[in-house]
């Protein structure tokens, strides 16, 4: 297994090198500040919507929140 390259950042775990499992678009909050217009996302302050990258779950879509991916 290897650290997920698409997580928001590294996990705060001593002795391991894994990602934090959070969506890098919304930083794990599940909320994006803006509005989806068709397939585009327009940042509009005050228009909070579910993150379109993680569908509001807050988890990294590449690793599913585990912080690790299979070695290639």
| pLDDT at residue number 44 | 62
Instruction: Give the domain extent around 9.
Output: 1-66
Q: Tell me, what's the pLDDT at 38?
A: 64
How confident is residue 15, by pLDDT bands cut at 50, 70 and 90? confident
* DSSP notation for the chain: -EE-TTBSSB---TT---B--BBTTTTTSSEEESEEETTEEE--TT-EEE-TTTTTS-B-TTTTTSSEE---
In a domain, 71, yes or no: no
Residue 72 lies in a domain: no
Residue 68 pLDDT level (bands cut at 50, 70, 90): very high
| pTM reported for the whole predicted model | 0.71
Residue 56 lies in a domain: yes
59 part of a folded domain? yes
| Tens digits of residue pLDDT in 20-49 | 999 998 889 898 766 556 666 566 666 667
Domain total for the chain?
A: 1
């Amino acid at each position: 297994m290897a650290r997920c390259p698409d997580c928001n950042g590294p996990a705060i775990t001593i002795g391991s090198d894994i990602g934090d499992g959070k969506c890098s678009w919304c930083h794990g909050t599940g909320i994006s500040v803006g509005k989806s217009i068709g397939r585009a996302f327009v940042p509009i302050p005050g228009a909070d919507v579910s993150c379109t990258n993680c569908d509001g779950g807050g988890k990294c879509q590449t690793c599913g929140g585990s912080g690790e991916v299979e070695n290639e």
